[in-house]
């Protein structure tokens, strides 16, 4: 099926072939300046002439036109065959993708899981005492390990289980109020006689 662009391209090819085929091309070189010009007639002045393309007979012109038309037809057939092959391949790939079972990912062997485990080890080994801040860091690192090693579905289940279990209330630390220390006058001992 030829589109408008294909028709235009074919017409331009035919016009360029027929225009170039009917004219004789002569290269003219001016002896004094060395300037080169091309013409379809005779060279002017004392320019040296060299025939680049001889004048063609009507049979040669017709033969070139037929060859150009055949080449254009072959190109269109090739493009159509390539398009058909690409569509067939796309359909085959789509069908193969539909039939292929979903590939399950092993989150426990992923590099993200290994990195999260190393981070948890660092956090746990760096805690010298059980302070509130260190407990928060350890809990955050454990949650990251759960997410990276269990995957989104497993992480959701673990979070549901965490929410269902009763948790101890966070310790509340009340700092004693600051009272400035006022110096008391030291009694001076009285001398005894």
- Let me know if residue 129 belongs to a domain: yes
Residue 119, pLDDT score: 93
What mean pLDDT is predicted for residues 62-88?
94
Q: Where are the alpha helices (DSSP H) in the chain?
A: 4-22, 58-99, 111-126, 132-164
- Let me know if residue 59 belongs to a domain: no
- Let me know if residue 50 belongs to a domain: no
Beta carbons of 50 and 27 less than 8 angstroms apart: yes
Name the one residue in this structure whose structure tokens are 């959701």.
156
- Let me know if residue 99 belongs to a domain: no
Helix H or strand E encompassing 52: strand 48-53
Q: How confident is the model over 139-190, as pLDDT tens digits?
A: 899 999 999 999 888 899 988 888 888 776 766 777 777 777 777 777 788 8
Q: How confident is the model over 91-139, as pLDDT tens digits?
A: 998 888 777 765 567 888 899 999 999 999 988 887 666 677 888 888 8
Domains in the chain, number: 1
Cα–Cα distances (Å) from 1 to 9, 24, 122, 166, 191, in that order, read: 14, 36, 68, 73, 129
- Let me know if residue 118 belongs to a domain: yes
- Let me know if residue 111 belongs to a domain: yes
**Secondary structure (3-state) at 32:** coil
Q: How confident is the model over 1-11, as pLDDT tens digits?
A: 445 555 544 55
> What tokens does 103 get?
């590939």
Measured CA to CA, the distance from residue 101 to residue 110 in angstroms comes to 21
Q: How confident is the model over 9-51, as pLDDT tens digits?
A: 455 445 454 444 455 788 899 888 888 888 888 888 778 888 8
Beta carbons of 41 and 65 less than 8 angstroms apart: no
Residue 18, pLDDT score: 47
Residue 75, pLDDT score: 95
- Let me know if residue 146 belongs to a domain: yes
Residue 88 or 19, more confident: 88
The boundaries of the domain holding residue 121 are: 107-164
- Let me know if residue 144 belongs to a domain: yes
């Amino acid at each position: 099926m030829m589109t408008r662009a294909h028709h235009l391209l074919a017409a331009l090819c035919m016009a360029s072939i027929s225009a170039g085929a009917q004219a004789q091309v002569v290269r003219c070189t001016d002896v004094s300046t060395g300037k080169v010009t091309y013409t379809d007639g005779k060279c002017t002045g004392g320019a040296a002439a060299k025939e680049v393309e001889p004048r063609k007979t009507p049979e040669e012109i017709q033969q070139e036109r037929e060859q150009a038309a055949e080449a254009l037809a072959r190109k269109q057939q090739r493009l159509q065959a390539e398009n058909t092959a690409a569509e067939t391949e796309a359909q085959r790939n789509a069908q193969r993708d539909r039939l292929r079972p979903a590939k399950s990912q092993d989150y426990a062997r992923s590099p993200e899981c290994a990195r999260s485990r190393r981070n948890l080890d660092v956090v746990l080994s760096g805690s010298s005492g059980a302070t509130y801040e260190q407990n928060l860091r350890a809990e955050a690192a454990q949650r990251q390990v759960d997410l990276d090693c269990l995957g989104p579905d497993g992480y959701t289940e673990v979070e549901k289980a965490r929410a269902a279990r009763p948790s101890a209330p966070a310790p509340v630390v009340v700092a004693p109020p600051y009272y400035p220390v006022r110096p008391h006058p030291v009694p001076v001992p009285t001398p005894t006689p």
